[in-house]
Chain A
Amino acid sequence: MMDGKSKRPARLGSFRAKFILVVGGAVLFDLLVSGGLALWNVQRLSRDATLEVGQGLEAASQEYIRTYADSTAAQVSLLLRQVHNDVSTLAGVLQAQIDDPERNSVVGAAIARTSPGSVSLSYDQKANWSQNAPGSVSVVSVWSYLLGEDHNPRPDVQTDIQTSAVLDLVAPSLLQHGASKLQMYYIGSKERPIFRTAPYTDQAQTFDRLYPGHNEANFWDFFFPGLYESWQGWAKDMKTRPVADDITQTAPYTDAITGKLIVSFFQPLWTADRKDVAGTAGADITLDQLAQTVENVKVAQSGFGFLAMSDGNVVAINSTGEKTLGLRSASDASGSGVTGLERSLKGSSQPAIAKLALDRELGIQHLLLQQEGNEVPYIVIVKKLPATNLWSSGPVRQEAMSLGVVVPEREIQASLYAAQAKISEATNRIVIYQILAILMSLLVVAIAVIAASKRITSGISALADAAKRIQAKDYSVRVAITSKDEVGEAGEAFNRMAEQISYHTENLEQLVEERTAQIEDAKEEISTLNAQLQRENRRLGTELAVAERIQLMVLPLHQELEEFQALEIAAYMRPAEEVGGDYYDVLKSGNRLKIGIGDVTGHGLESGVLMLMVQSVARALQEAGNTDAVKFLTDLNSALFKNIVRTKIDKHLTLAFLDYDGKEMILSGQHEEVVVVRANGEVERIDTMDLGIPIGLEADISAFIKTREITFETGDLILLHTDGVTEAENDAGELFGIERLCREALRLKDQSAEKVVAGIIATLMLFIGSQKIYDDITLLAVRHR
C-alpha cells in the first residue's frame, strides 16, 4: 500500500502549481477587481456624501440663517406694529374727540372737574413755561409762546389742555399693556403745540436742560422741522404719503426726558374736516427695546444681528457685533432737531462692510472680514423690514429698515466640517476594513486554494505516482484517495485496475499453467475422444466392413447362377457407403428354383444381420421342401418376426420371390415392381403391392400374401431391382426412375442377362455421376433362353 500524501514539492509546471496559479490568479484578480471597485465606490460614495451633506448642511444652515433673519425681522416688525397699534389707539380716541367737539368739551370739562391736577398749570417764572404739578397721570407743558400776558394759557390753549386730558383715560392702560413703551403723549397743532405726556415726568425742565432755546421757537419747527408740513401735505392729498399709513417714525435720537436713545412714533391728528393737521398722538420706545430683539440674535457661537436704516445707519447692534463690523459711533450735532445717532455701516473700518449695500434685498452674502490681520469669512444675510414713513430731518420720506444677521462662516460650517470629518473618518475606516477584508479573503482563499489544490492534486499526483510505479512493474501499488469526487472515483477505478493488473501479472504464470493444464486436459480429452472416435470409426468401419462382408458373403456364387439351362441369370449388387440391407438370392432345390429379392429398412450391421437371417430362413424353408409360396412367406415372416422381437432389431423388410418349376413363374410377396420385357418388345410392369406386406411387422401375414403367375417364355426378360436403382439421384437431384429402367431394359433386351445388367448399371452409374450412392443398388436379370 502506498500513502496518497506524497511529500512532493509543488514544483513549477506541476499540476498543483498550475492549479494554484489558475485558481489563485482568478480569485486574486476577482478580489482585486471587486476590492478595487468597492474601494473606488466607497471613495466616490464618501465624496458624494460629503458633497451631498455639505450642500445639504449649507442649504440647511443658510435656510436656518434666513429663517432666523426672517423671524427676527418678523419680531422687529411685530414690535413696531404693536407700538403702531398703541399709537393708533391713542390717536383714534383723540381723533374721535376732535371729530365730536361737543363731547370733547364735555369730557374735557368732566376730567377737569374730577382730575383738576391734570388741567391746572402753574407758571414757572424762571423757565417761562406753564406745567401741571406732579402727581397727575400725565404731564402737560405749555410753552412761553402759548401763554397770555397773565402767564396763563391762552383760552384756546386752555381748551386744548382740558380736551387733551382725555389722554389720561387711555394712555395709562396702553402703557401698562401692549408693547413696552417709554411714554405716550399728545402734541397740539402748530398753533397750540402743548405737550401732554404720560406718565408724569419733569418734562419741560428736561427740555430746557437738553434743548436750550426750544421755549422760544415753535415746538414743531424746533424739534421736528419739516414733519408738520409733510403731514399738512398729506391732508391735502393722502397719496403723497410715502407709505400708505399715517404712522410716522423718527430716526433714533436722545430723549430729552429720559436721556435714552429713543425712537418716536407719531400718528397725526386731523381737523374734523380733515383739511389740516390738529396735532399728533405719539409714543416713544427706547432703542434698547427695539435693539433687544435684534441684539438678542445669537446664531452659532458668535453670530449677531443688527438693525440699520436705509442710509446704513445702524440703530441696533450688540457690542461684539459693533466691534466685528468695525462701526464707529459719531454723535455729531451737525443736524438740527432731536439729536440723532450716527453709527453708519458706510463708516465701517471693514471695507467689505462699507461696501455692503443695504438698500437692496441681497439675501445671503459671503464676506471676508479682517480680524487681527486675518481674513475671516462671514455669512451676512440682510432682510428689509416693511417700509414705514420716516422723519429724520426735513420732509417725511419712506424708510425701510434692514435687519442683518452676521455669522462666522466657520461656525456655520462647523457642523459641515464635523460631518465631513465623520464621513472621512467613516470612509477611512471602511477603506481599512475593506483592505483588511480583501487581505483576509486573500489569506483564506490562498489557504483554501492551497489546501484544495493539495487535496485535489494530491489525489492526482498520487494517481500519477502510482501509475509510474505500475509502469516500473510495481503492481502492489494502491492509492488512498478518500475524496468523494471524480478523483476519488478515478482512484477507486485505478485501484481496481491495479488489482486486476497485479492479479493478472502475478497470476499470469499460474494462469498460463492453469490454461496449459486446461489445454492439456482438453488435449487429453481430445486425444481420448480421438481415440474413441478412431475406435468408433474403427468399430463403425469394422461394423460396416462386417456388414458388407455379410451382405456379399451370402450372395450366390457366380457359378451357381450359371447352373440353369432354361434360364440365364445375372445379378449385380453394390452396397452403399453405409451398407444397406439389400437381399437377393437364388435357391435351387431339385428342379425348383426360388429367386428372392428384398430390402431391409435402414443401414448397417443390423440390416446385414437381418438380411443374413432372411437368407438362412429362406434356405432352411427351401431345404425343408416348402413349395407353397404363400406358406413359404408366412413361415419366413413368422420366424423373422420372432427373431426381430428377440434381437430388438427395429427393422423390417420388403421381400418378393419368383418360384420357377421349369414351366410356371410364380410371383409372391411385396416389393418393387417387377419389369418384364417380352421378346416382342413389350414392357410389362407388375405391381407387387397387393401380393404381400413387409416382413417383420406382423406375426402372421398369411392373410396378406398373394401369388401371381407371370407368363415367361423364350426371349422374355424379367428384371428385379431394389429402390437403390430407381431412387438413385443425379447431380440435379432427379431420380433414375422406373421408366428409365424400363427404357434401358428394352434397349438391351436382346443381349445376354449379363450384358443387360452391365448395360443398365453402366447407364445408372453414368446417371449418378459424382453423386453419393445413398442406398444399395441391386439388379437381377432373368432371361428365358
Chain B
Amino acid sequence: MIRFIENIIRSAVNETIDKAVTRMIRDQYIENLFEMVPATTKVGPTNLMEIAMRANQGTPVSRPLGSPIHLSPWEKILFNPCHLFRFPTPENVGIRTSITIGHRAKKPLTISIPIMIAAMSFGGALSKNTKIALAKASTAVGTATNSGEAGLLREERDSAQLFIGQYNRGGWMNTPDKYKQLDAIEIQLGQGAQGSTFQRTAAKNIGEEFREVFCLDKGEDAVIHSRLPGVNTKDDFIQLVRRLRDETGVPVGLKIAATHHLEKELDIAVEAEVDFVTVDGAEGGTHGGSPTLQDDVGLPTLFAVSRASEFFARKGVIRDINLIATGGLVTPGQMLKAIALGADGVYIGTAAVMALVSEQMVKAVPFEPPTSLVVYTGKMTDQLDVEQAALNLTRYLNACVQEMEHVAVTLGKTAITDITKSDLCTIDPFIAKATGIQLGYISSENQDRFFTETEPMFDDYHSPYNQNLNVLPVYTESQDRETNPDKISDQV
C-alpha cells in the first residue's frame, strides 16, 4: 500500500517538475519564474527580502543578531604549532585559562575562562528566562555575564556570580543603588551593530516587568539616547570614570563601537584611566538594529583588536587597561586569535544564544525561528527550559575553552594569556602589513626582504584605489587576479 502511494507521489512530482522545467525553458524571462534566480543572485537573498520588508513596513527593518557580512578575515590567520625548537606542553600540565580584569581597581574581577557573555539586555533584547539561563551558565563556568543596556534585573543579578553592568545611555543602571551591586561597570557609549545612534522600544512592546526594571511610566517608550546623559565633553567622561571608580572600587570600563577613529577615542579612555575597554567590531550583533547600521557602519573586529592593542602598547598601558574584544566571534579559533592579537578576553552574544537554544530550537522550527524562544518579544519565551538552556551553554563554553587549550598545548604554552601575535602567521600580505603578523609564505628571516622586493607590486595594486581613498584596500585574491593577473603568479 505504502509502495503504491509512494509511486503516485513520485509520478506527480515528476510530472510537476517536468512541466515547470519545460515552461522555464520555453517562456521568455519576462514571464518566467526562473527570473527569481538571477534576481536573487544579483541582489542577494537577504537584500531581496529586506527590500520587500522595507516596501511593506515603510520603516527601517529591525534585523536581529547583527550583520550577515563578515569583514574580519580570521580564516586567513593561522596558529603555528611547535615540535622541537619549543616543545608542546605535556598533557598532564593544566592550561591556565583565567584572566583578571582591572588590576588597578580596588576589587579586580577574575574570571576562570577568557570568554564572557556579551551585553544583551533584558527587555530591549532578551526575555527574563533567557537572561537567567545565561547568568546560570556563566556562573557554572566561572565567568561573567553582562546586563546590556537595561535596569537591574534582580533575578539575573542573583543568578550571576560575576555580573558586569552597563552604565547606559538609557540611564536605567545609572543610580548608585543599582551600579553599586555590580562586579564591574561598563560605560556603554556605542556598539558595533548600531554605532552610537539612538534606539527606542515602543511602549506597546514593554510589559509590566520590563517597565518595573527600567522604572518607566505606563505608556512611556524606553529610549536609548545617542549620547550618555551628562556626558557632553571629554572632561565629563573623565569625571564620570573617576566618580564611579571612587564610589564602587570595581573595574570601570568603556564600551565603544570600533571605528576608524579608534585611537582618538582610546586616547581619552587612557586619560580617564579606565580599567578596561570593550571594542565591538562591525560584525557585532544586536537585538534588532537597522541593516544599514549593521552592514555599513564600523570597523571589523580583527583590525579593531589589533589597532587597540598596538595603541595600548605604544602608550605603555597594556598591563593597566584590559582589552575585551567582541563582535561576530563565533568559533573558539576566532576567539583565540582575538586573544593572540592582544585582547585579554572576549564577549560572545549570538553564539551564546544559539548554544542556549540549540537543543530546544525544535520547539520553534519549522513554523517560528529559534529566536522566538529567547527574544523578549518572542512568541514562545515561556517554553524555554531554563535549566536545559543553561546546561547547553555550559557545555558549549566548556567545549570552546577545551579547544583553546588544545591550541595552547600545540603552541607549547601553559596559559591562554601567553598566546601572542608571534604564535600566528597569515597567508595575506596586507593583513601581515596591517597587523604585524608574519607572512606565512616565507621564513621569518626573509619577511623584510619579501616586502622590500615586492613593494612596487603593492604600489601598483593600491594606486588605482589610492587616488580617491588614500587607504590600502583589503586584499582579496580575486581582486588581485582581476587587477594584476601576472603579479599574483609571481607572488605565489
Co-complex (A, B): no
